[in-house]
Amino acid sequence: MEDFSIHKKTKSTFREYAEALITALVLALIIRTLFLQAFTIPSGSMLQTVQIGDYVLVNKLAYGLKIPFTDEYLWRGDDPQIGDIIVFKYPKDTSVDYIKRVVGVPGDVVEMRNKQFFRNGQPVKEDYIQHLHPDQVGPLDNTRPITVPPDHYFVMGDNRDNSLDSREWGLVPRGYIHGKAWRLYWSWDSTSHTPRFGRLGRLIQ
């Protein structure tokens, strides 16, 4: 005779695990969609601030709350500020995500003159940048003045001589911004094949 109590208990246990798994997946999706999202850094355009192999948590509520899976806001929070490091959809291919630093906000006039960045006619001191080739002037080291329009941002990489950014492909629409880079939750050195434990939890700024 079949033991229905055992069958019922087994079925109940399976159902509990399934419900717990589904609940966890739904919560993870909500958190990823509305609050926090993880991104990896595959290139060196933000050296030395962000390293290749860093894993970044992005605060998706920093600039407002978007309608899921759209670029439209349910409500707008603070606007991005000069110096913010943001993750956004690459304007020329929105399936690709980029990370750069905001250096020009709406109303600013920005330009490059022989590797020196100017905002509103004034040279900007940028302690966070590095120049791999300080004595070589490339095509992106001199740009015409650009006035940043409403709801757009001028961004550049901290590794200034090795960054394709707003100097080359233009401005970032506000709706393309995923959020503000917040902290490193993991970092992997692919050369030595070891974790960079000293970078874990570091605030990105």
Q: What residues form DSSP beta bridges with 189?
A: 194
Q: Which of 129, 151, 153, 149 is nearest to 141 (CA)?
A: 129
Alpha-carbon distance 138 to 115, whole Å?
A: 9
Alpha-carbon distance 113 to 122, whole Å?
A: 11
Handedness of CA 137, 130, 168, 82 (dihedral sign): negative
Alpha-carbon distance 105 to 80, whole Å?
A: 8
Q: Is 100 a catalytic residue?
A: yes
Token reading at 175: 């709706």
Q: Is 11 a catalytic residue?
A: no
Kindly list the distances between the CA atom of residue 137 and the CA atoms of 73, 88, 91, 131, 143, in Å, as whole numbers in the listed order: 41, 28, 26, 11, 12
Q: Which of 60, 66, 89, 100 is catalytic?
A: 100
Which positions are catalytic? 45, 100
